[in-house]
Structure 1
Amino acid sequence: MRRWRRPSAFAWILLLLGLAAFLGLARWQWGRAQEKERLLASYAAAATAPLRQYATLPAALSAEEYPRIAARGAYVDGRGYWLDQQIHAGRVGRRALAVFRPSGDDRLLLVDLGWVAAPVGAPAPAWPPLPAGEVELRGIYAPPPGGGLRVGGDALARQNAWPKLTLFLDMAAVAADLHAAVAPRLLLLDADPSSGLVREWTPAVMAPEKHRGYALQWFSFAVAAMVIFIVLHWRKSN
């Protein structure tokens, strides 16, 4: 015959703390999954969204807003950045970031020209040729990519040759390097097969399904904690 043994105060505190932690983490992961779904949906909608003029954009955009824009201006000659260690289809490469001066705007705009393969140990890829004079660019106006190993301080200031190489994109460091104000977002150019660069714009984020998997895992830990608590206090009587 089994009987319930009264849990100690410490056991209750331990159980409640565990449940709060596990359920809190499960809820957080579930919320992150919903955020990633909205992010991916915004990216997908941007490809067919009505074109907006860069000059008419508000000073601040919501984190989930990715407008497709047109910007007139000219590329800044002799300036640009390679964003290194970028993975596409399982291959290592670089993203070419040109510097653009929009008409009627004091801020410079970084333009993502696309991805090119750059295997470790292979010669550096050639910088893509850019048109001279005034042009109109079209693409998605998106936040800069995150990630990258930030060690050794600002590597841009220590380089003299252009284009400069970086493992992460810090817009404040870029502004200091260019000695000019820089827009807080990038222009991800529309696809152009003749460019020789890959322009497949998808955010490099964890898939919503993985977040839901982690949420289920944390929820299962909460259930396991309850089961262990009951088993330990539902003892056979001697």
Structure 2
Amino acid sequence: MITKHKGFFVLCLILAVLCCFLGKWQLQRYEFKKRLLNNYTERLHAAPKIFPQLLAIEKDLQFQPIKAQGVYLNDLTLFQQKLSEQGQPGYEILTPLRIKNEKKLLLIDRGWVPETCPVTIDTQQQQIITGNIKLLNEYQFILGKNILKSEQGVTVIQRVDMRDISELTHQEFFPFIIVLDRQPPTTVLPERHMAYAVQWFLFALIIIVSFYFFARERGRDEL
């Protein structure tokens, strides 16, 4: 039965294996996101640690609550395009913070504003900020170039890429950002990845069963 439909069998096998691979990948994403949210929940109400001293005592920095003192470099503020949870267009306001005796700058996520809302950034004095570290360890797909606009003191970006930002500002940054408002991370919930995994495994099963019935019916027709 398989020999007579070898080409179709190989195609179905490849598709079934691909679906199984994608299902396994979604299970891995499920476990990763579950650990991510558990880690965030544990650290949400923890006491903030002083930056940069915590770098010497903490290895796992994701969502680590911190307190830092420095001066905002308002001229280097970035506007990252981002939709709100309701789908409203707007920007995340990202401003570098210079800390005394530190060569690198901290990039601070100061929050989201609507696209139509005028933004005035005039903070010049020393600031004491508290927030959570967010590691930039997830790939963000974008269309076209990352730096969309850089003129008249306004720089619009699609994603936070420290290499692009360093080249643009001629400054060196720590490889993470500080999020000021303690909101749950904007990420796909673990349960959705589990649902995707089930779907991919079902697709694989459907392909195998479909080939079986297709080959059986063809075999009957040839008798």
- Shared fold per TM-score greater than 0.5: yes
Q: 1:21 to 1:88 in 2, by over 3 A?
A: closer
* Counterpart residue identity of residue 7, structure 1: I
Q: Does 1:105 align with 2:87?
A: no
More helix by share: 2
Alignment of 1:24-63 (within 5 A): 24-58=21-55, 62=60
Normalising to structure 2: TM-score of the pair? 0.81
* Counterpart residue identity of residue 2, structure 2: P
* Counterpart residue identity of residue 123, structure 2: L
Aligned to 1:204: 186
- 1:27-62 CA-to-partner distances (Å, cap 9, x unmatched) read 111111121122222222231123222212448955
Normalising to structure 1: TM-score of the pair? 0.76
- 1:78 Cα deviation (Å)? 3.0
Q: 1:78 aligns to what SS in structure 2?
A: helix
Q: 1:141 aligns to what SS in structure 2?
A: strand
CA RMSD of aligned residues (A): 2.9
Return the alpha-carbon distance in structure 1 between the equivalents of residues 24 and 139 of structure 2: 24
- State the aligned residue count: 216
* Counterpart residue identity of residue 169, structure 2: L
- 1:55-91 CA-to-partner distances (Å, cap 9, x unmatched) read 12448955x8321111122222433112224324332
Return the alpha-carbon distance in structure 1 between the equivalents of residues 118 and 23 of structure 2: 44
CA contact (8 A) 1:150 1:168 kept: no
Alignment of 1:154-165 (within 5 A): 154-155=147-148, 158-159=150-151, 161-165=152-156
Q: Does 1:71 align with 2:63?
A: no
Aligned to 1:171: 162
- 1:105-156 CA-to-partner distances (Å, cap 9, x unmatched) read 11011111111222xxx4x5122442503x3211101035864744246446
Structure 2 residue corresponding to 1:142, chosen from 134, 145, 150:
134
Q: 1:173 aligns to what SS in structure 2?
A: helix
For structure 2, the residue ranges without an aligned partner over 5 or more in a row are none
Q: Which deviates the most, 81-90 or 21-30?
A: 81-90
Aligned to 1:187: 178
Q: 1:223 to 1:70 in 2, by over 3 A?
A: same
Identical aligned residues as a percent: 23
Structure 2 residue corresponding to 1:231, chosen from 194, 213, 221:
213
Return the alpha-carbon distance in structure 2 between the equivalents of residues 236 and 166 of structure 1: 61
* Counterpart residue identity of residue 80, structure 1: T
CA contact (8 A) 2:146 2:158 kept: no
Q: 1:65 to 1:77 in 2, by over 3 A?
A: closer
* Counterpart residue identity of residue 206, structure 2: A
- 1:20 Cα deviation (Å)? 1.9
Return the alpha-carbon distance in structure 1 between the equivalents of residues 183 and 123 of structure 2: 20
Structure 1 residue corresponding to 2:3, chosen from 8, 14, 17:
8
